[in-house]
Chains A and B, each alone.
Chain A
Amino acid sequence: MRISREKLHWLYEVMYRIRRFEETMLEQTFRGNAMGVTHPSDGQEAVPTGICAHLTEKDWIGSTHRGHGHCIAKGLDTKAMMAEIMGRYTGQCKGKGGSMHIADFSKGMLGANAIVGASVPLAVGAALTAKYRGNEDESIGVAFFGDGATSQGVVHESMNLAAIWKLPVIFACENNQYAEATPAWYAVSTDDISARADSYGIPGVQVDGMDVFAVYEAAGQAVERARAGDGPTLLELKTYRYHGHFHADDPKKYRKSDEEEEYAERDCLQHFEKVVTEQKAMTAEQLKQIRDEIEQEMQDAVDFALNSPMPPMEELYSDVYVEYSNSLVGLR
């Protein structure tokens, strides 16, 4: 597999941006600046990065409660994301959605979703639009979902639909091996989720989700297949979240430290750094420069969010409908 220098730069930049965004937003959450719960995705950066590396703004992704990484990999602005988490008017959704509902339709991002499994059919629907319109842009849909979500009926219905209609969609199962405190070995009937693809007659591939190169390669094939009109692929990306399920959750209560250490050793950023410097594709200085720039970006995002206004009270009533003839105001 050959990856251009430009693309390598992009992969590292995006993974590091996700890492630092999660760490920064957690810090802000603990300072009381986020308005609700936040679900950090650090540890899993290679998955959205390796997949979205193949996408353009004409492609659509569906996301989850753990959606910041998907947003960043799809090119969303970290200022508007941070502002959304802080409930500000300048946020991606005017402060009305929060961490679990960040969306940017101009970037092909169908929204983070707080109902487990619920965004999967949305990506299928986006693929349906593409096919319906003759797919001149060759645009595709990608559904991100967790190991826990594979227990939802709607996820299976979505895969069957996409298979029978040969829709250009990728099912990207981020198997971080836990759903809240519940291990996948308890809740999922197989230790090979990708094998379930067989029952829908579509390809299924298990991928090391800690290795961005492996993700990039597997996703490349699935994307090519989808764009060529050959239908959906199920990718199971084995990964790990470094933090708890949400900001205040202590994962030590249900995960063993040897497991946590094993994954820390396979960290996607460190692995990337090792490979590119060994192969002399990027220098340590180049990598550091990217990190420094992102450090500044995070500082700017926090400053921007903290200095942004709250939404005005009228926003409570806006955006419910396009048009509606009754008052929406609560009875008082």
Chain B
Amino acid sequence: MTTAEATPTKTVLSEPGVLVPGPGYDVPGMDVRYRDAFNQTLRDELNHDPDVFIMGEDISGGFDRDTLEPLDAWGGPFAATKGLVQDFGPERIRDAPISEAGFVGAAVGAALTGLRPVVDLMYFDFVTVAYDQLLSNAAKSRYMFGGQTKVPLTLFARSGGGTGHAAQHSESFYSMLAHIPGLKVVVPSDPYTVRGLLAAAIRDDDPVFLVNDKKLINMTGFCPEESFTIPLGKGRYLRHGSDITLVGMSYTSVVCKQAADQLAEEGIDAEVVDMLSLSPFDEDIIVESVMKTNRVVIVDEDTPRASMASEFAAVIADKAFDYLDAPVKRVTGPHTPVPYNKGLETAFMPQPEDVVGTVKTMLGV
């Protein structure tokens, strides 16, 4: 029996369709920053299971030339792992050279042989440097070896535009990961969900990729004090409404919520579904909501072709066709790389106004 099974944690949001716990949710907690919730979860999981360790570039960052001790000068990109090396040491908080294919592959090998590696890939774009290891080794080993093995690997990286990092540091290509059988993908949207989903990802026995949109990292929000997990594959409602469904994922869930607030001022009652997981994903919550509102807009910062937005639209067409009063609409990035110039970059990303405009066009108001 692994320690993971020995120590039960509380599972919240086990039912699809539970309204978001937030301020007022009846467990002890407080407002924390997304990055701090993330860091705390890593700390919890390192404490929880000695087989958990973290690898990545500059996750502590720097070593003293004379003592050879880690300096924790960076504490990871966006300080995700700050302070961990002091408490868990450089064996478990393992700085890696710039060798994404190498250390992701090594993490797969470690996972195949009993450890529970967590890999920080820094920017989401660097996934492609290690894509072969993810696709051909991490995701397929269990299947092609006839179920002899499992790959309890967690990876995370930062996605999205908005910081002027330009074409090679701003991708949101979720669908490139969700397309892979054998790999799970989760996209938290606030401090609460990153805590629950990261813990669930690390405890899960399959490879799981957690994507952090950069725009969420400094966001503050409610987070329970105690460790907990959110089940993979479940979405949640951020707002109940009756006129139209807005489906978001990662930061676009925030965009949807902002759009719904603007729409409310104009008397339009939008429901907001936050997907939280992209593979597996919660078909039921989308279908349930669309059956109620009869209209849906899916908001995705990824480029539009062969995207998660397309996938959700296909599920709705298949399972809720008879309930639709209007064509399914998607609000997405353009079919282009992410531009550097601030104005163009802002235009690339779906804004609340774009969602509001699309909703109004659909409702003919």
Complex: chain A residue closest to B307, CB-CB: A331
Q: Tell me whether A35 and B62 are in contact (CB under 8 A).
A: no
Complex: chain B residue closest to A148, CB-CB: B98
Q: Tell me whether A182 and B166 are in contact (CB under 8 A).
A: no
Q: Tell me whether B341 and A87 are in contact (CB under 8 A).
A: yes
Bound together, the chains give a CA A179 to CA B350 distance in angstroms of: 34
Q: Tell me whether A331 and B98 are in contact (CB under 8 A).
A: no
Complex: chain B residue closest to A259, CB-CB: B65
For A116, what are the chain B residues with a Cβ–Cβ distance below 8 Å?
Answer: 98
A-B residue pairs, 8 tightest by C-beta: A36-B164, A254-B62, A98-B340, A151-B97, A181-B62, A181-B61, A253-B73, A330-B334
For A106, what are the chain B residues with a Cβ–Cβ distance below 8 Å?
Answer: none
Q: Which of B67-112 contact A (CB under 8 A)?
A: 71, 73-74, 95-102
B167 within 8 A of A: yes
A: residues with CB less than 8 A from B are: 34-37, 87-88, 93, 95-98, 100-101, 113-117, 148-149, 151-153, 179-183, 185-188, 253-254, 256, 259, 310-311, 313, 315-317, 320, 326-332
B: residues with CB less than 8 A from A are: 57-58, 61-63, 65, 71, 73-74, 95-102, 125-126, 129, 163-169, 304, 309, 329-337, 339-345, 347-348, 350, 354, 357-358
Q: Tell me whether B58 and A98 are in contact (CB under 8 A).
A: no
Complex: chain A residue closest to B122, CB-CB: A180
- The minimal Cβ–Cβ distance linking B250 to chain A, given in whole angstroms, is 17
Bound together, the chains give a CA A114 to CA B186 distance in angstroms of: 26
Q: Tell me whether B344 and A320 are in contact (CB under 8 A).
A: no
Complex: chain B residue closest to A178, CB-CB: B62
Contact of A115 among B61, B99, B126 (CB under 8 A): B126
Bound together, the chains give a CA A262 to CA B13 distance in angstroms of: 58
Q: List 6 A-B contacts (CB under 8 A).
A: A101-B167, A153-B99, A180-B74, A187-B96, A330-B348, A332-B354
For A329, what are the chain B residues with a Cβ–Cβ distance below 8 Å?
Answer: 334-335
Contact of B339 among A151, A182, A316 (CB under 8 A): A316
For B163, what are the chain A residues with a Cβ–Cβ distance below 8 Å?
Answer: 36-37
Q: Tell me whether B98 and A320 are in contact (CB under 8 A).
A: no
Tell me whether A151 and B304 are in contact in the complex, defined as CB-CB below 8 angstroms, given that A96-B339, A253-B71, A331-B329 are known contacts. Answer: no
Bound together, the chains give a CA A310 to CA B334 distance in angstroms of: 19
- The minimal Cβ–Cβ distance linking B362 to chain A, given in whole angstroms, is 11
Complex: chain A residue closest to B95, CB-CB: A182
Contact of B58 among A93, A153, A180, A328 (CB under 8 A): A180
Bound together, the chains give a CA A37 to CA B162 distance in angstroms of: 12
Tell me whether A97 and B57 are in contact in the complex, defined as CB-CB below 8 angstroms, given that A113-B168, A151-B99 are known contacts. Answer: no
Q: Tell me whether B333 and A330 are in contact (CB under 8 A).
A: yes
